[in-house]
Amino acid sequence: MFARAEFSRAEWEAEADRWLLTARKHAVGGGALICPPGPVSQSGPLSDGMEGFARSFLIAAARLGGGEGDPLGHAGWYADGLAAAMDPASGGFWPRAVGFEDWPHAGITQPAVEAANLAFGLALCREQVWDQLPDPVRERLADWLAHHARLRVWQHNNWLLFPAVIEAFLESVGIPVDGGHGAENVERVESWYLGEGWYNDGPAGEPGRNVDHYNSWVFQPFLWQWYLLRGEWGSGSRAERFRERLSSFAASYALLFGDDGAPLHLGRSLAYRHAVLGGLWTAGIAGVDSLAPGVVRGIAGRTLDYFRRLGVDGDEAPSLGWGAREFLPAVQEYSGPGSAYFAGMGFLGLAAPASHPLWSESAPSDTPAEDSVTILPSLGWAVQRGLGDGIVRVVNHGSDHANYADDPGDPHYAKFAYSTRTAPGTGAAWSDRAWATGVDGHVALVDEWGRATRRGRIMGVAAGEGYVASWHLPRIGASGRELAGARIVTASLVTARYELRCHLVTAPAGWSLREGGHAVASDAEVECGADGVAAWAVGDGVRSRVAGVHGYESGSVARYEDANACGRHSAVPYLSAGLSPFESVPSVGSVHVALHVLEAADTAPDIDLADLADVVDVRGNEVTVRWPGGSTVSVDLGSLFASGSTDATP
């Protein structure tokens, strides 16, 4: 299933118009709020309605800022909505959402994010909207924005960029913000830089490695806007430093889109969908040299078409899900019915005029994807693309989102592998107490009652030619306590298509081991099976396989319903092994090796499972693989993290 090569600017404009006209159908309070149907978030309906307005405005702002003319009156419609929002007599009066009676002294609330989205959009279409507002409306709106610019928001995530951009916008239109601290916020965020263009969503030296699409839909666009509004873009060491980082990001992030346009299904807030394009559009508008403008437009067009094929085409308000249907198991508590309109960041390319190279430069002709594997040491990731099947697979040894000791974990961060054609198991596939809990993409210790450990924090990362590795202390129970005497070192030896996942397991006596492959899903029944020490599952044209190479005893399949964003039925192939029959031994260490494959269902295997013993050699703690027609890679699991360091930096 492959997408169209590209969409013209006129087609993107038509798509934007369709989204915007649909959003208007859900307007209330004189247009101040946009309230699609859906479950209310933890912030309440008023805040949710502001979300719908401010986030859909991102689409309108890009459409207005880079286009010629406004045939559907988007500028006037949103200007009227802002007038209603700032009118104390209106039912949609926005200051209520920050504590009407206490404003401007209210604390940190979700509207701080929407104020930033509004400021970001107003910067894109200042002439069409901001400059046209009546003076009383503009003054009231400026006061409202300035309140949020002064807030000391959460200091440990991307929220720091929100007051910074609001402050920068206000100062760009001649309104100084007393008590603002945007420069301080931006420099703190810049200190979270990991490498290769990517930022950790929080202090990089603290517990929790949070690497996800927030790099593309917040970090890159909002930092770019801040430097641009401050007049620093293109000059000065800080702006140049960011420009270099943006260029590196675009080059590595572009690897994470399948040939069918599908983004990598990893991280939180995935209902934002098209916003995955924000960082690439930012790089294209900024003119960085790591990606040709035609390449950016090609990726964006394929992604637009991908979501269209899933039914997300603007004819209806976007649901809280991945495809057209609502899928709440993958939704965060802060998301309300209007949250998904942050997809508007995915229309950012329209802010570039038709004469910009993003639209005027020819896109390269489509060619079959070449086999490739890219190690991103700063992230602890290996990016695999093979056999021209269009699937991108990411082996994850660097992102865990384990921000505190009793963190319950998140399947969108905790897995060893993600892809553009699969989603991790959620709901019963993640949190049930049965044997099958959290099987996919995970290696777990399992006790005699069937309770499985979870990964928790990644304690250390290593990477080299053809491999990436990490270690963790398995956690168990609602408290997330570490299992005494347990430690797992894992190394993934990779080619473009295969992952040889190797574990050095130390565990208390009496525990067993379970290792799962990718979960595949379909709205139809999923085919699956097991044979000896191997198992497989096929759904929606993709096949997931696991095969025991060393230290495993059997293969099986776990099946679920309504536990996967990619389909109503899902299945996970997995392997099992006992660890020690000797109750008198307090702990044992053993090596376990499995081959993991995710491929198009019609792909002919080029490694016979019966020949794996000839391909892989295990001697003590050292594992060597001689890839057919390729390289030889060896790792010593015992010495990778011999010091037991808890430094999670490669």
Whether 261 contacts 303, CB under 8 Å: yes
Cα dihedral sign, 97-102-106-112: positive
Using DSSP, state whether 27 is helix, strand or coil.
strand
HSE, side-chain direction, 13 A CA sphere, residue 298: 20
Last residue in a domain, options 313, 339, 360? 360
In a domain, 625, yes or no: yes
Q: What beta strand segments (E) does 332-400 contain?
A: 372-376, 381-385, 392-396
Tell me the average confidence (pLDDT) per consecutive run of 10 residues in the chain, 650 residues long: 72 98 96 93 89 97 94 98 88 57 51 95 98 96 93 90 98 95 95 96 80 97 97 81 96 96 96 98 95 95 97 97 93 92 98 96 67 94 88 96 74 96 93 70 92 90 96 81 92 95 93 96 95 95 96 96 96 91 54 95 74 86 90 94 53
Say yes or no: 584 and 534 in one domain: yes
Please give the Cα distance from 611 to 590 (Å, whole number).
23
Distance from C-alpha of 645 to C-alpha of 462, rounded to nearest angstrom: 12
Q: Could you tell me if residue 536 is inside a domain?
A: yes
Asked if residue 431 and residue 298 are part of one domain, the reply reads no
Helices (H), 67-202: 74-85, 111-124, 135-150, 161-172, 182-190
632-636 vs 198-199, strand pairing mode: unpaired
Residues 446, 263: Cα–Cα separation, whole Å: 33
Domain presence at residue 261: yes
Separation CA 36–CA 326 (nearest Å)? 13
The amino acid occupying position 546 is V
Domain that holds residue 475: 372-636
199 has which bridge partners? 193
Domain termination residue (choose one: 331, 360, 389):
360
Q: Which CATH number goes with the domain that contains 65?
A: 1.50.10.20
Please list, in sequence order, all residues whose beta carbon lies within 8 angstroms of the beta carbon of residue 560, skipping any fewer than 6 positions away. Answer: 425, 427, 428, 429, 436, 569, 570, 571, 572
116 is written with which tokens? 């930033």
Same domain membership, residue 480 and residue 576: yes
Positive or negative, the CA dihedral 281, 282, 286, 289 is negative
Which CA distances in Å does 183 have to 25, 97, 162, 169, 239? 39, 27, 12, 13, 12
- Crossing angle for the helix pair 135-150 and 111-124, nearest 10 degrees? 130
Q: Which helix (H) or strand (E) holds 22?
A: helix 9-24
Burial class (CB in 10 A: 0-12, 13-18, 19+), 636: middle
Q: Which helix (H) or strand (E) holds 481?
A: strand 481-482
Identity of the amino acid at 379:
L
Amino acid residing at 336: G
Q: Give the pLDDT confidence of 500-559 residue by residue, as tens digits.
A: 999 999 998 889 999 999 999 999 999 999 999 999 999 999 999 999 999 999 999 999
In a domain, 366, yes or no: no
For 381, phi and psi rounded to 5 degrees? -120, 150
Q: What's the pLDDT at 99?
A: 45
Answer yes or no: do 355 and 418 share one domain: no
- Tell me whether residue 157 is in a domain: yes
CA distance 215 to 279: 7
| Residue-level pLDDT at 646 | 42
Q: Are the CB atoms for 141 and 133 separated by under 8 Å?
A: yes
Q: Which residues share a beta bridge with 462?
A: 469
Closest CA relative to residue 329, chosen from 562, 560, 519: 562
529-544 pLDDT, tens digit per residue, is: 999 999 999 999 999 9
Summarised one tens digit per residue, pLDDT across range 422-434 is 999 998 888 765 5
Query: Does the pTM exceed 0.75?
Result: yes
The whole-angstrom separation of Cα 58 and Cα 54 is 7
pLDDT at 482: 87
Task: Using alpha carbons, select from 374, 375, 376, 444 the residue that is nearest to residue 409.
Answer: 444
Task: Specify whether 381 is located in the same domain as 333.
Answer: no
Count of CB atoms situated within 10 Å of the CB of 109: 18
Task: Tell me the β-bridge partners of 498.
Answer: 597
Residues 469 and 494 in one domain: yes
pLDDT at 591: 96
Q: Note whether 379 and 340 are same-domain residues.
A: no
Report in angstroms the alpha-carbon separations of 245 from 131, 197, 252, 539. 33, 4, 11, 38
Residues 301, 195 share a domain: yes
> Is 382 part of any domain?
yes
Neighbours of 439 (CB within 10 A): 25
Please list, in sequence order, all residues whose beta carbon lies within 8 angstroms of the beta carbon of residue 532, skipping any fewer than 6 positions away: 554, 555
Distances (CA, A) of 624 to 407, 471, 576, 628: 35, 19, 22, 13
> In sequence order, what DSSP letters do the residues of 423-462 get, joined into one string?
----THHHH-SSTTTT-TT-EEEE-TT--B-B--SEEEEE
Residues 271 and 396 in one domain: no
Element (H, E) at 358: helix 357-360
Q: How far apart are CA 305 and CA 328, in angstroms?
A: 23
- CB of 57 closer than 8 Å to CB of 347: no
Q: Taking Cα atoms as reference points, which of 254, 464, 498 lies closest to residue 395?
A: 498
Per the structure, how many domains does the chain have? 2
Q: Do both 90 and 211 map to the same domain?
A: yes
Instruction: With respect to residue 649, please indicate whether it lies within any of the assigned structural domains.
Output: no
Q: Is residue 236 part of a domain?
A: yes
CB contact set of 384 (below 8 Å; sequence gap of 6+): 372, 373, 392, 393, 394, 395, 494, 495, 496, 497, 499
Residues 351 and 406 in one domain: no
The stretches of 220-329 forming alpha helices (DSSP H) are 220-229, 237-253, 278-286, 293-309
Residue 515 tokens read as: 């290792």
Cα(416)–Cα(427) distance, rounded to whole angstroms? 18
d(CA 148, CA 116) in angstroms, rounded, equals 8
CA 203 from chain centre, in angstroms, equals 18
CA 173, distance to chain mean position in Å, is 33
CATH number of the CATH domain containing 567: 2.70.98
Q: Which of 323, 340, 360 is the last residue of a domain?
A: 360
- Are residue 356 and residue 395 in the same domain, yes or no? no
Strand partners, 635: 623
pLDDT at 584: 43
Tell me which amino acid residue 117 is: N
